[in-house]
Structure formats: structure tokens, C-alpha cells
Copies of this chain bind each other. A is one copy, B any other.
């Protein structure tokens, strides 16, 4: 599930991340921004050696890999051993393959975690996580913004909008949330208010990025003079949460998780 989201959630929760890509299977764009290395699919010994060298403690297996034919696999010595454990008839199914690989990692002293164990604690809960709560005007703006963001998301355009007093000040497309926040500061009226609403696009590919809000988002919202941030509960990653909350509380900004309206 969601390789990019797992990497982002892991780094966002303060973990040091080392990403191992499989040549010909992993999307280079996914990992080039992180400490990483490339290995061949059958190079089991090399893989384990690299993980030890990097003092890796927890391993998460993510992303689908098309099962190569035995002829394509470039097995190293350890790879041959593992294949023997799997049984030469590799037709026993993916679960058998996966559990054998997991046991192999565990035997080497690594803890194998599910992607959900990394992601779920990072997802926004419902309700405010800051001392400040949205007032009535803000709740109305959040509702308008949520609906607008979902409609814009359906068109696969972007994930975020900014609303003030019922008026959509800005819509995010490819420029990203930081650029959206940078421009709404000059577009909003001097009145109080203004809310950033960020949601997961309704049709979003499961392997695509989850919407993310972090301390940079909070700083941008404060600079823009907004009153708060509303994120899609259960679908939006909150990274560097303690820093976010401290910064928001100091500025009197609210951050709240919102469920789908009825």
C-alpha cells in the first residue's frame, strides 16, 4: 500500500528512513529524495547486508512487484537458499512467498512492520487537535471548502482550497499547498477568518500520495493570516505533529479533522 505515503509517514513520525529499490520494479521518482540504494530482485544476500550496514531495525515491505520468471531472476547465493526454502514450485501463491520472506528478515533480527502500522498513527483524527476551536463562521467555511475541495478533487485537479466568509479565495492545482497559501495572504479581506481545507481526492489512486499537512503548512497558514486548517480525518497525514500543534497554539490557529459530511 502507498509506498510514497509510507515513506512520508515514516519520516514524518521522526524515523530515519533508508529506502531499498528493486531494479526494474521500483519507480525511481519515489526514492531519489531519500537515503536509498538499488538492488536486483534476486540479490537476497546483498539486500540483507545493506540493511545491516545501515543499522536498520524495522523493515516495511511495500509496493507490488510483478513476479519475475526464474530465468529473469539473478539469484545470489542467499537467493538460491531462499528459493530452496520457498520450494521450487513457486506457484504456492504470494502469501506463502511473503511469509517466507518475512521470516527470513525476522531471522536476521529485523522487525517487520505492516504499512498500516506506520501510516495509521499519522492520519488526522476527527475534531480539533489544537487549543483553538473553529467558531461558527469557520465551521461554515469548512463545510463550503470541504464540498469545493471534493468537487475539485473529483476532477483530479488538487487537494486544497482556502475559504473566507463563504468565498473560495484559492484552489490548489499543481502549484501545491504552500504556493496556494502564499498567494491567499494578499487575496483575503482584512476581516478575521479564512480556512485552509485539505482533503483526499475522491478517486485518488491508492498508490498515489496521501494529502499531507505539516509544520510548513501551519507556518504558511499563519503568514497568510488564516484562522485555521481543516483536514480530511482518516485520510490526511499530519507530519511533525508536536511542532505543528505548538506552532498553531502559539498563534491561536486551529487544526481540526473533519469527516465526510452526511
Render A154-196 as a binary contact track against B, CB cut-off 8 A, 1 for contact.
1111100100000111111111000100010001000000000
Given A148-B155, A157-B148, answer yes or no on A171-B173 (Cβ-Cβ < 8 Å).
yes
Whether A173 and B168, one on each chain, are in contact in the complex, defined by CB atoms closer than 8 angstroms, is yes
Nearest B residue to A156 via CB reads: B168
Given A179-B183, A183-B179, answer yes or no on A152-B171 (Cβ-Cβ < 8 Å).
yes
Whether B174 and A157, one on each chain, are in contact in the complex, defined by CB atoms closer than 8 angstroms, is no
Chain B neighbourhood of A167, CB < 8 A: 174
Given A148-B157, A157-B148, answer yes or no on A175-B168 (Cβ-Cβ < 8 Å).
no
Of A158, A161, A171, the most chain B CB neighbours within 10 A belong to A171
Nearest B residue to A179 via CB reads: B183
- Taken together, the copies of this chain in the complex come to 2
Chain B neighbourhood of A78, CB < 8 A: none
Nearest B residue to A186 via CB reads: B175
A151 at the A/B interface (Cβ < 8 Å)?
Answer: yes
Chain B neighbourhood of A147, CB < 8 A: 155
Complex Cα–Cα for A47 and B101 (A): 90
Chain B neighbourhood of A158, CB < 8 A: 168, 171
Whether A183 and B175, one on each chain, are in contact in the complex, defined by CB atoms closer than 8 angstroms, is yes
Nearest B residue to A170 via CB reads: B173
Chain B neighbourhood of A172, CB < 8 A: 171
Output the least CB separation between A187 and chain B (Å): 5
Chain B neighbourhood of A179, CB < 8 A: 183
Complex Cα–Cα for A175 and B180 (A): 11
Task: Select which of B151, B155, B169 is within 8 A of A173 by beta carbon.
Answer: B169
Complex Cα–Cα for A152 and B171 (A): 9
14 pairs, CB–CB < 8 Å, chain A vs chain B: A148-B157, A151-B152, A151-B154, A151-B155, A156-B168, A157-B171, A161-B173, A168-B174, A169-B174, A171-B171, A171-B172, A174-B187, A175-B183, A175-B187
Given contacts A158-B171, A167-B174, A168-B173, 11 further A-B contacts (CB under 8 A): A148-B157, A151-B155, A152-B155, A152-B171, A155-B168, A157-B171, A158-B168, A171-B172, A171-B173, A175-B187, A183-B183
10 A-B pairs with least C-beta separation: A171-B171, A157-B168, A170-B173, A148-B155, A174-B187, A171-B173, A168-B173, A169-B174, A175-B187, A169-B173
